[in-house]
Chains A and B, each alone.
Chain A
Amino acid sequence: AQTVTQSQPEMSVQEAETVTLSCTYDTSESNYYLFWYKQPPSRQMILVIRQEAYKQQNATENRFSVNFQKAAKSFSLKISDSQLGDTAMYFCALNAGGTSYGKLTFGQGTILTVHP
């Protein structure tokens, strides 16, 4: 079985500052993918960033970057220069192979509020 845990139900940050959202996961598979999704108040889930487990280099998308620690099974999201539009629920998700092929397992979510 695969699990994803987000231990921070809520976080807040001031505009222009940096914030890090935590995620840990567990899987017995060696080939898997990790994702961060953003869900703003509009409810539309948006893919923020993805990481392939066999790539050691941390993924980066503009102001969003990850710290992927494979041995520790940790996958945190760093948002730099936070903007008001970053206010949303953020979900960490895991897609492992094997019998769970195709299935995305989600964490509980972290509500991020960016204050002006």
Chain B
Amino acid sequence: DVKVTQSSRYLVKRTGEKVFLECVQDMDHENMFWYRQDPGLGLRLIYFSYDVKMKEKGDIPEGYSVSREKKERFSLILESASTNQTSMYLCATRRDRVHGYTFGSGTRLTVV
């Protein structure tokens, strides 16, 4: 089974800090995604990547950037954390359209 590992389960950061959320997969999947999950809004796509050094904006990219230097690692960066970025962040990987996504267990980020 594909394993998707997010480095932190809970994270508390201060407003204005630069925050890195790390995601690592142990299979050779090209597609990786970052979502944020908020009550009543479901999951919303922030950024995704189809290959190394390749990235595309999702639906809500403002205030975020990403990095994919190696195929197995996809990092989400909050350039200057704000309280409205307090949320659950989920990383996912995908083999192909038919099989859907495999998710990490999420990072609950609180910005104070």
Contact = CB atoms under 8 A, between A and B. Distances in A.
Interface string B29-47: 0010101000011111100
A103 B58 contact: yes
Interface stretch (B61-69, B78-86, B97-105): B97-105
B70 to A, nearest CB: 20
B88 interface: yes
B14 to A, nearest CB: 24
The binding surface of chain B is classed by DSSP as strand
Contact of B50 (A47, A102, A104): A102
Interface string A1-24: 000101001000000000000000
Interface string A76-116: 00000000000000010101010001111111110000000
B74 interface: no
Given A50-B98, A102-B31, A103-B58, A108 B42 contact: yes
B105 A33 contact: no
Contacts of B92: 45, 104
Interface of B: 31, 33, 35, 40-45, 48, 50, 58, 88, 90, 92, 94, 97-103, 105-106
16 contacts: A4-B42, A9-B40, A33-B98, A33-B100, A43-B88, A43-B105, A43-B106, A45-B103, A47-B102, A50-B99, A97-B97, A104-B45, A104-B92, A106-B43, A108-B42, A109-B42
